Copies of this chain bind each other. A is one copy, B any other.
């Protein structure tokens, strides 16, 4: 099916073909790339070499022009790449544009416009409630009526690999009279799934759930770093701010919606039935399995399929007040947490608020992150014929401030 020599069970088979931006040593110019097997196709060069009509969309060193081009172009590019990589007549022409994956440096794949973070895992919301308010066992009253969200800081969304500097800030120890200042003592992760908007929407006009795929290009992984002590002290009444705004890491390869057809499942039953603008006729739950590794050790495998609110519902909610979308908008799921202990998407939950340290190999334990810790989040989803679609890691190490 391909003239390429693809490794067995590669996360980057011909049914995946995600997009990112990379450079190689000695040639710092950023190009659009498509990982396939253990190589990356330099799509910028390949499109120029084949004089593809879409070649000009790939020259800016970010995906934004491709994102803005819309579904017909997205299909055309994807079909062209598949054709190039399967028809032997393209082999000689394309081979010079394949670079070993191990030799590329990946960059932030798109210029982020606005960043919105949802809070759509019921299990996570229940856990967070129970940890912070041990006598409260219920969700907030609005939680099952709307997908709760807040705006994050777009300017500190960073590429996988960028070190995360431990943030300083105010925190007020329990029982203290006044806050103290210093490095966060409860630095945490949140394993999330991000959706990347391609096609803008008209100001003053809501985007319906049915138009999801007309606007959203694809999916990445997000680590929404969180300083729990800063967040706890600052968040009332206007929500999280400095506890989140120091860094948000995203995975290098954006998996197009077209690669996730086999991952689509019905979301959980919603009770109460949501208001009209939140109803969907199509299945847009996504059967992704995330994996969180701390210093190389698998600590959790959160399932995405059980998220209460789906991405089309999130998009419809985000725009129902007339707020417009721009190319490069990123909205993330919120922490993905399943019902089991080893399916929790944050250290807050894995250590139950720091009260129950969890084990690492070598007799080590953790509650929150220590300097030098490295966190990697990956994911996979069902592809056709028993294959798996891989997402590639979002990875970063914590460095002292």
Partner-B contacts on A (CB < 8 A): 113-114, 119, 140, 142, 145-146, 148-156, 158, 165, 167-170, 172, 178-179, 181, 203-204, 206, 227, 230, 233-243, 245-247, 272, 275-277, 317-318, 320-326, 329, 401
Majority-rule SS of A interface residues = loop
B239/A150 in contact, CB under 8 A? yes
A245/B168 in contact, CB under 8 A? no
Identify A153's interface contact among B158, B172, B323, CB under 8 A.
B323
A168/B322 in contact, CB under 8 A? yes
The smallest beta-carbon distance between A165 and chain B, in angstroms, is 4
A241-B113 contact, Cβ under 8 Å, with A154-B154, A203-B156, A401-B204: no
Identify A230's interface contact among B158, B239, B247, B321, CB under 8 A.
B321
Residues of B close to A181: CB separation below 8 A: 275-277
Complex-state Cα separation, A170 to B276, whole angstroms: 11
Complex-state Cα separation, A220 to B227, whole angstroms: 32
A155/B234 in contact, CB under 8 A? no
Name 20 A/B residue pairs within 8 A (Cβ), A-sorted: A119-B238, A140-B236, A142-B170, A142-B179, A142-B234, A142-B236, A145-B178, A148-B237, A149-B241, A151-B241, A154-B154, A155-B325, A165-B322, A168-B206, A168-B321, A169-B321, A227-B321, A235-B239, A238-B240, A245-B323
Which of A168, A239, A318 is packed against the most chain B CB atoms within 10 Å?
Answer: A239
Complex-state Cα separation, A227 to B178, whole angstroms: 34
Chain B's closest residue to A119 (CB) is B238
Chain B's closest residue to A236 (CB) is B140
> Told that A148-B237, A155-B326, A239-B240 touch, could you supply 4 new A-B pairs with CB distance under 8 A?
A113-B155, A119-B238, A142-B179, A181-B275
B146/A170 in contact, CB under 8 A? yes
Chain B's closest residue to A179 (CB) is B145
A155/B227 in contact, CB under 8 A? no
Residues of B close to A148: CB separation below 8 A: 234, 237-238, 241
Identify A179's interface contact among B204, B275, B317, CB under 8 A.
B275
Chain B's closest residue to A206 (CB) is B168
Complex-state Cα separation, A325 to B206, whole angstroms: 31
The smallest beta-carbon distance between A142 and chain B, in angstroms, is 6
B246/A321 in contact, CB under 8 A? yes
Identify A322's interface contact among B149, B151, B246, B329, CB under 8 A.
B246
A204/B155 in contact, CB under 8 A? no
Residues of B close to A169: CB separation below 8 A: 320-321
A320-B165 contact, Cβ under 8 Å, with A113-B154, A156-B203: no
A238/B322 in contact, CB under 8 A? no
Identify A320's interface contact among B145, B168, B233, CB under 8 A.
B168
Residues of B close to A179: CB separation below 8 A: 142, 145-146, 275
A239-B242 contact, Cβ under 8 Å, with A150-B150, A181-B276, A203-B165: no
A242/B155 in contact, CB under 8 A? no
The smallest beta-carbon distance between A10 and chain B, in angstroms, is 34
Complex-state Cα separation, A240 to B241, whole angstroms: 12
